[in-house]
Amino acid sequence: MSGNALRDLNTLPAPERKNDSSSKGNFTKPCNGNTIENIEEQQRKSLASVQINGGEAVNVGVEVANLEVEYIESENLSDLEDVDTCLKNLLPGLDSKDWILVVEALNNVRRLSIFHKERMHCILSDMTPLVVKSLKNPRSAVCKTAIMTATDIFNAYNNDLIDSLDPLLVQLLLKSSQDKRFVCEAAVRALEAMTTSVSPTLLLPKLQPYLKNRNPRIRAKASMCFSRSVPRLGAEGIKEYGIDKLIQVAASQLSDQLPESREAARSLLLELQNVYEKSHNLSTAVSEHPEIGSWEDFCLSKLSPLSAQAVLRVTTNLTREGLVIGS
């Protein structure tokens, strides 16, 4: 991982103003593939009008351009009118110094992901770093639109994003861990899209280093992603990946600082216990290999005594709760 990525992960942005709406930013109309015109005219309207009073310039009023952004949900995005022109202008738009054009280009990436993903596939490796650049943008309208873009490209391209995943993952973990609620919630949805779109065999090794990050919020979000990804392996995939490896990961998160990490660990442990016990009960190899013991024996053989006790206490309580609910 690069030094820049590590610095990003270990430094959360300072809390931002809380007067941002969850559905509005500082932008104009929704984009639909056409270049926004008269930007300079809009900027000129924001200049203050002044009058001279006794040799002093006095501010008598400001006509501020009413710039708002509408964050359009994926299902409400419309198709592009001119796909060829949009593709031609896409990368320059994403790399523009004008944030309005960047937001328009991001929304066009979303439209292409939904309606024309095959057409955009050839520029995916060039496009993704520019989306990451927008994720780092301090302007909320750009940042949140970039997060929504990440969600759509995860849903569209699945494992094709694996080579570009690390910088995306870093930024989404950061954004999901900050104090600005509407940005945080969008980033959590993007991470959920990642865990349901990218193969767990590819994703779990990417997530595992962040479980030990020194920032507890990063660890918590990574734990939640890890816990959601493991069941997608299926019983055979979990055994192939290694229940012993996974139980050690879960046990390490069980005593973590934040409750999200601990809850994710409990969920993962229950999944592992179910897989282990079903495999143990159904396997004909048990009689041939008496060393294969109970879940308790397994935990004691793979973990330190204290960790094993903590794991067994959790899984026993969860199992009992499940039996009570099911009775």
Q: What's residue 29's pLDDT?
A: 40
For 172, residues 6+ apart whose C-beta sits below 8 A from its C-beta are 135, 147, 150, 187, 190, 191, 194
Tell me whether residue 301 is exposed, middle or buried, using C-beta atoms within 10 angstroms of its C-beta: 0 to 12, 13 to 18, 19 or more. Answer: exposed
CA dihedral 282, 284, 285, 291 (to 10 degrees): 60
Residue 46 has pLDDT above 80, yes or no: no
- Taking residues 13-36, report their average pLDDT: 41
Q: What percent of the chain shows pLDDT beyond 90?
A: 69
The lowest-confidence range among 33-37, 156-160, 303-307 is 33-37
pLDDT confidence tier of residue 267, bands split at 50, 70 and 90: very high
Residue 42 has pLDDT above 60, yes or no: no
Residue 110 has pLDDT above 90, yes or no: yes
Higher pLDDT, 47 or 88: 88
Residue 291 has pLDDT above 70, yes or no: no
- Taking residues 180-184, report their average pLDDT: 92
- Taking residues 227-235, report their average pLDDT: 97
The pair of three-digit structure tokens given for residue 72, joined into one six-digit string: 């359009």
> Packing angle between helix 200-207 and helix 165-175, nearest 10 degrees?
60
Q: What's residue 279's pLDDT?
A: 87
Residue 196 has pLDDT above 70, yes or no: yes
Residue 104 has pLDDT above 50, yes or no: yes
CB 121 within 8 A of CB 128: no
pLDDT digits (tens, 9 = 90+) for 130-158: 999 999 999 999 999 999 999 999 999 99
Q: What's residue 312's pLDDT?
A: 95
- Taking residues 184-209, report their average pLDDT: 97
CB 275 within 8 A of CB 239: yes
**Hey, which bits of 133-230 come out as E strands?**
none
Q: What is the rounded average pLDDT for all residues in the chain?
A: 81
For 71, the 3-state DSSP assignment is coil
pLDDT digits (tens, 9 = 90+) for 197-222: 999 999 999 999 999 999 999 999 99
Task: Quote the CA–CA distance of 315 and 300 in Å, as a whole number.
Answer: 13
Residue 82 has pLDDT above 80, yes or no: yes
From residue 106, alpha-carbon distances to 18, 65, 96, 147, 150 in Å are: 24, 22, 11, 10, 9
For 116, residues 6+ apart whose C-beta sits below 8 A from its C-beta are 80, 83
Tell me whether residue 195 is exposed, middle or buried, using C-beta atoms within 10 angstroms of its C-beta: 0 to 12, 13 to 18, 19 or more. Answer: buried
51 pairs with which residues across the strands?
A: 58
Task: Quote the CA–CA distance of 317 and 313 in Å, as a whole number.
Answer: 6
Q: What's residue 293's pLDDT?
A: 80
Task: Quote the CA–CA distance of 158 and 199 in Å, as a whole number.
Answer: 8
Q: What's residue 226's pLDDT?
A: 98
Q: Is the pTM higher than 0.85?
A: no
**Hey, which bits of 118-192 come out as E strands?**
none
Q: What's residue 179's pLDDT?
A: 87
Higher pLDDT, 290 or 192: 192
Q: What's residue 21's pLDDT?
A: 39
